[in-house]
Chains A and B, each alone.
Chain A
Amino acid sequence: MDNDFLYEENILEHYRNPRNKLNKACTDCDCVGYAQNVDCGDSGELYLDLQNGRIQNVSWSGNGCALSQAGMSLMTEKIKNEKLSFEDLKLWTPAIIYELLKVKISPSRINCALLAYRCLTDNLKKLK
């Protein structure tokens, strides 16, 4: 009954204190990736700045459930901490996000969990 594993401190903490989140849309970054879950209103924008193929800066803005917003925070933290390149990001799969969230995702929450990944996919498409 108390097994609220989806709402582990990891996710709630990122939801309450999101990393790299901007309060408003970024207007001067190199690339904006956008994703939305139309059935529940989750939305995110992922802002990337690049220099010589490496990610110079990453930030995001958005609204939605704890899972989608924690996903944005965790993903941007990883990109920033690991100083990843554009080529590294191209190799990413949804598994990376699941790994970051560290919780079992039910089929009805996949769209929430992968909001960040879909933003990134949009960035990669635009940067191709």
Chain B
Amino acid sequence: MDQIKKEFQIFENYKKENNVELIYLDSAASSLTPDTVINKMNEYYFNYRSNINRAVSKLATKSTLEFENSRQLLSEYLNCSEEEIIWTSGATASSNMLLDLIALYDEENPFLFENNEILTTILEHHSSLLPLQKLARNKKMELIFLELDSDLNLDISNLGNLISEKTKIASITLTSNVTGTLVDIKNIARKIKEINKDIFVICDMTAGFGHVEINFQNLRNYVDAAYFSFHKAFGPTGVGALWIRREISREMTPSILGGGIVAKVDRDIASFRSDIKVFEAGTPNIAGIIGAGEAVKFLRKIEGKSFSHSKNLVEYFLEKVEELNSKYINIFQIKTFAADPDKNSGIISFQILLNEKEIHPHDVAEILSRYNISVRAGHHCAEPLMNYFGIPSGLTRISFHIYNTENDIDILLTGLLKIKSVFEK
């Protein structure tokens, strides 16, 4: 893996600046970006900086071709049509746009009524949950939650009772950004559609994209829309995608209006273009989207390796923690919240207990940062899940990607023992 690390200049730069290795265990918040992606974006700024689509200059032709090449690369990677990829600024923008599109569709073709229901899960990130709450509130609908079983997997044993003809939307995450739990979305979505084929099924793929294979050809009979961000999958910040089955998006009216999406505009009314770009009003993040295309090439390169690599690291960490816990039991304990490594996307959250008292995750993260170890602490934008676990102070989270090594975990464990010594004084 050291070879892979060399493809991320940030490791070398950090060492030069701080005279110590960077231990980056926060890829679930944002992954690092390989040099190829950064160079590709720089190329745009240095060599062919211009707007896309409408200009006819050589520069604009080049930038339009590169921009559209990213759409092609992504659609091939996901096995879907280019006409199903909507570029956005990230998962949050995708999620909000999708629910706005659904609300707009409902204005023209009413199908959401008072006391209807939206099925979702306790694992959702706020970017998925909050727009659902808004729609539910506006339409006087009710949110229904799938909870967890003792292995931190979604408990679908009761699915048949939770779904009825009142259920109009189901929004199920692909992966928990707290426990790493991978959801068998195809299986759950298929079951949902079997009970009521008219339910609009959404999947938030943000924490799974780049870790597990996503193939929309296999999902399209069960899932209607999905979204993710690129900054968690080697791309730049400020780029995401929204996938909607073309049969559905064709019937939708754009929610964001502006330049580049029109067929004709009169003083009082406008008519819109008929392709997927109708959902991409305004000048997009051109450099970022061109960089996202390059990130797809990197994802292709690590395809088939990423998941098993993270799985090995999850197993290694859990083993080491078990050793530590047996050594320090009752004095110092690391209580992990991680799904079974076979169903985990490289994410583990944990609590540190010293003499049965919790050391606050912010204190844990702060001390680890002194060791040049980047982790995340807090609610991880999943407050309902924290409340479900009964942990108002949140958890410390580590997350792995292709550039992490067992050595990173060894250094992390040294840092965790340092925390013990700081608070034990």
Contacts and interface: CB of A to CB of B under 8 A. Distances in A.
Contacts of B361: 40, 65
Interface string B14-44: 0000001000000000000000000000000
Nearest to B369: A106
Nearest to B377: A40
A67 B363 contact: yes
Interface in B2-22: 20
A1 B425 CA distance: 18
Given A1-B371, A4-B422, A12-B422, A41 B366 contact: no
A12 B360 CA distance: 13
Interface of A: 1-4, 6-7, 9, 12, 38-42, 63-67, 106, 109, 112
A74 B378 CA distance: 24
Contacts, number: 59
A112 B394 CA distance: 14
A64 B366 contact: no
Interface string B384-402: 0010000111100000000
Interface of B: 20, 360-363, 366-367, 370-371, 377-379, 383, 386, 391-394, 418, 422-423, 425
A65 B362 contact: yes
B177 to A, nearest CB: 14
Given A40-B394, A42-B393, A66-B363, 16 more contacts: A1-B20, A3-B370, A4-B370, A6-B366, A6-B367, A7-B422, A12-B422, A12-B425, A38-B383, A40-B377, A41-B392, A41-B393, A42-B360, A42-B362, A67-B363, A106-B366
A12 B392 CA distance: 22
Contacts of A38: 383
B360 A65 contact: yes
A91 B360 CA distance: 32
Contacts of A40: 360-362, 377-379, 393-394
Contact of A66 (B360, B377, B386, B394): B360
A63 B391 CA distance: 12
15 contacts: A1-B20, A1-B371, A6-B367, A7-B366, A7-B422, A9-B425, A12-B423, A12-B425, A40-B393, A42-B393, A65-B361, A65-B362, A67-B363, A67-B366, A109-B366
